[in-house]
């Protein structure tokens, strides 16, 4: 079941939507229920490697660019920086060079930039985007938008408003690519950022500065502030794809996908979007319930050996003799099936 979208929440018909959501829910109760969906509140696609996941995301971007081109429309992409999208950008560059994928029709808006920073500094996200994507493709420089880290503080408010206005004037972001911080941030919307937040200057958490320190000579050089697109702006994108790779992202991916919607894990707010999916590798998926406790989500073909293993495992975990296990223990452990089999 999909949640009520953010745009819908903003509208006047909130109660109506709750009713629709309830109807949908009741319908799903009677039709076939996908047990993985019962835990995962955002669709997740899992790939064996970063390369395969990135290639899949690149394919989606390429199809959208071509589809928009055929319709005679511009394709508006929201882009991220950091280590996560590097392989995706390499694949897009390859597609441009080997498969003639053209970016002439593309307009881009980046999520964020450190503040203050010289736009030409190696660590700036302006320079990052040139290095990893823009200088290798045929995008019109006039179509590239990245927050400006060189403005005075007084100028930022006007800059942020103009940035959002420009997005709206293009007709809005068709596809937003996101990474995820270990603390759940999206863009640089750190925990506590409101679902209604706008593009603005934000204080970076120390954990974020530490995670990004590898790009700088030492942690003291990592800027303490950044300009970031607000969460309300991200949620207005027509489609969102979040990428996450490696074991360090596994706990936060689980919280964002399976946890409650909370501003203390900003990526969990994506559950409110009606076309958001996660593309992740196996390492980043490791603590999703479907892998950590597969008995809770999978359809198991119970062999006598598996029954023995599952029951002994449950008894050990509960520190109870097998014969003292109750019906509740079986159901709490996701082994309710066994109570009904002979």
Site mask, ligand F6R, residues 39-68, x = CB under 6 A? ------------------------------
Q: Which two tokens stand for residue 314?
A: 């449950």
CA dist., res. 90 & res. 223, Å (int): 27
For ligand F6R, the closer of residues 166 and 210 by Cβ is: 210
Asked if 112 is part of the footprint of ligand F6R (rule: CB under 6 A), the reply reads: yes
The candidate with the shortest Cα–Cα distance to 279, out of 80, 32, 7, 28, is 80
50, 140, 151, 190, 194 from 216: Cα distances, Å: 24, 30, 21, 20, 29
Binding segment for ligand F6R (CB under 6 A), chosen from 10-18, 41-49, 178-186, 301-309, is: 178-186
CA dist., res. 270 & res. 96, Å (int): 30
CB of 227 to ligand F6R, least distance (A): 11
CB of 232 to ligand F6R, least distance (A): 16
Total residues binding ligand F6R (CB under 6 A): 13
Closest residue to ligand F6R, judged by C-beta, is 179
Asked if 78 is part of the footprint of ligand F6R (rule: CB under 6 A), the reply reads: no
8 A C-beta contact, residue 201 and residue 226: yes
8 A C-beta contact, residue 43 and residue 277: yes
8 A C-beta contact, residue 186 and residue 197: no
Asked if 172 is part of the footprint of ligand F6R (rule: CB under 6 A), the reply reads: no
Position among 149, 181, 223, 266 found at the interface with ligand F6R (CB under 6 A)? 181
User: What is the Cα 17 distance to its own chain's centre?
Assistant: 24
CB of 300 to ligand F6R, least distance (A): 35
Binding segment for ligand F6R (CB under 6 A), chosen from 17-25, 91-99, 182-190, 311-319, is: 182-190
8 A C-beta contact, residue 213 and residue 222: yes
User: Is 190 a known active-site residue?
Assistant: yes
Site mask, ligand F6R, residues 81-100, x = CB under 6 A? xxxx----------------
CA dist., res. 253 & res. 282, Å (int): 12
Which of 113, 164, 190, 205 is the catalytic position?
A: 190
CB of 211 to ligand F6R, least distance (A): 7
Asked if 80 is part of the footprint of ligand F6R (rule: CB under 6 A), the reply reads: yes
Position among 41, 185, 209, 255 found at the interface with ligand F6R (CB under 6 A)? 185
Neighbours of 119 (CB within 10 A): 15
Active site residues: 190
């Amino acid at each position: 079941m999909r949640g009520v979208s953010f745009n819908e929440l903003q509208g006047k018909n909130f109660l109506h939507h709750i009713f629709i959501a309830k109807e949908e829910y009741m319908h799903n109760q009677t039709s076939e229920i996908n047990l993985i969906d019962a835990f995962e509140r955002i669709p997740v696609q899992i790939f064996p490697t970063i390369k395969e996941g990135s290639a899949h995301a690149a394919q989606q971007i390429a199809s959208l660019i071509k589809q928009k081109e055929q319709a005679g429309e511009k394709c508006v992409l929201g882009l991220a920086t950091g280590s996560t999208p590097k392989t995706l950008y390499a694949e897009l560059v390859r597609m441009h060079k080997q498969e003639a994928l053209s970016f002439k029709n593309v307009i881009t808006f980046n999520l964020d930039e450190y503040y203050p920073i010289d736009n030409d500094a190696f660590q700036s996200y302006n320079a990052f985007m040139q290095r990893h994507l823009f200088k290798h493709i045929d995008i019109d420089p006039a179509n590239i938008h990245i927050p400006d880290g060189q403005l005075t503080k007084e100028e930022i408010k006007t800059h942020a408003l103009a940035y959002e206005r420009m997005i709206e004037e293009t007709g809005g972001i068709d596809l937003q690519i996101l990474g995820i911080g270990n603390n759940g941030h999206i863009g640089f919307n750190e925990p506590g950022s409101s679902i209604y937040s706008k593009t603005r200057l934000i204080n970076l958490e120390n954990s974020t500065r530490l995670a990004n320190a590898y790009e700088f000579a030492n942690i003291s050089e990592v800027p303490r502030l950044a300009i970031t697109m607000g969460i309300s702006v991200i949620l207005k994108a027509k489609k969102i794809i979040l990428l996450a790779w490696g074991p360090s992202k596994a706990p936060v991916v689980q919280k964002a996908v399976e946890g409650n919607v909370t501003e203390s894990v900003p990526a969990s707010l994506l559950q409110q979007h009606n076309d958001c999916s996660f593309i992740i590798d196996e390492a980043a998926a490791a603590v999703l319930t479907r892998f950590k406790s597969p008995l809770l989500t999978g359809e198991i073909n119970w062999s006598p050996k598996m029954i023995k293993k599952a029951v002994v495992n449950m008894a050990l975990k509960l520190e109870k003799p097998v014969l003292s296990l109750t019906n509740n223990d079986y159901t709490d452990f996701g082994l309710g099936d066994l109570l009904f089999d002979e």
